[in-house]
Chains A and B, each alone.
Chain A
């Protein structure tokens, strides 16, 4: 914490963590990436494949945001302001899933490409 003395009236406080933390997270991200690649390499299919892909994706994204981007040590005011709005995209996803089903149905009904 030597920089406290030299820091010129900084408006912010920042965190200092041991380098080991970053190396551990780096290693975990490597392993998780390897796992998600193995999902494809092994050739899993169906719901098992999709849920594994999503699981590894969320774990990786969480590690990057929480540790590498230091979100875990921010105040809740910032965490909620940044994390909550993207979750609303899920509503958009639900809308577009319904819309896509409708478009697919229309295509099969009117363009004769259906079974």
Chain B
């Protein structure tokens, strides 16, 4: 937070940093988030609400697991894969984690190249991110197929507490939906970047607003959030 240069039309005085800045931003007229556009602020607020949705899912899972008298199935064994005759615990989930983290890395670089107005690299990195996302969803589909064929249902499973199935399908299903929406979002924005919409400030087809490279960062915020949620699911559902 070294430079507080504003390109805002009227206000040009520097803003205080730290707690004083926090207080004056929140106490000021008109807008609280001084150097954040409405698009970015609204994406952050949406992500905050989504945090509560996933928070409630994980809480429901915690309550189910803590209050059941039947032993919880051991995820380390449930999600093990047989590779070359040996059972490797959680290996598919680990690979999915690495794939999603890689997609976050490519997305962060796409945002960076977007602000440098490097159209080609931005679009390619976004496409790579979308590819990683699609790979993740594909592996999740494989995992679901495997578990369903082994007899896991929302109302029961062969290994223990029946709530295992419902929480598993609910949490990973909702996360997978988020990843899928993110891939679609990425493909739409990558196409616009590729076409040069943000260099020519072409107006959006739905909103009629001029396009800016900032939308790449907003897409990135959503994508990183999907990765962030997976960090928590990985820790609490798969590793705990």
Contacts and interface: CB of A to CB of B under 8 A. Distances in A.
Chain B contact-residue range equals: 35 or more
Given A53-B235, A64-B228, A11 B62 contact: no
B67 A107 contact: yes
Contact of B235 (A8, A56, A74): A56
A50 B239 CA distance: 9
B232 A61 contact: yes
B59 A89 contact: yes
Given A50-B240, A64-B104, A89-B52, A104 B67 contact: yes
A54 B234 CA distance: 11
Nearest to A6: B117
Contacts of A6: 117
A74 to B, nearest CB: 7
Contacts of B68: 104
Interface string A68-84: 11100111111011100
B178 interface: no
Contacts of B239: 36, 39-40, 49, 53
Interface in B61-117: 62-63, 66-70, 76, 89-90, 94, 97-98, 101-102, 104-105, 107-109, 112, 115-117
Contacts of A108: 69
A78 B94 contact: no
A13 B7 contact: yes
B201 interface: yes
Contacts of B174: none
B104 A61 contact: no
Number of chain A interface residues as a range: 35 or more
A86 B9 CA distance: 34
Contacts of A73: 1
18 contacts: A3-B115, A3-B116, A10-B7, A16-B115, A25-B108, A41-B90, A54-B235, A61-B231, A65-B224, A67-B108, A68-B227, A69-B220, A75-B17, A75-B22, A76-B22, A86-B48, A101-B67, A114-B69
Interface of B: 1, 3, 5-9, 15, 17-19, 21-22, 25-26, 32-37, 40-41, 44-45, 47-48, 51-52, 55, 59, 62-63, 66-70, 76, 89-90, 94, 97-98, 101-102, 104-105, 107-109, 112, 115-117, 201, 210, 212, 214, 217, 220-221, 224-225, 227-228, 231-232, 234-235, 238-240
Interface of A: 2-3, 6-14, 16-17, 19, 22-23, 25-26, 29-30, 33, 36-37, 39-41, 49-50, 53-54, 56-57, 60-61, 64-65, 67-70, 73-78, 80-82, 85-86, 89, 92-93, 96-97, 99-101, 103-104, 107-108, 111, 113-114
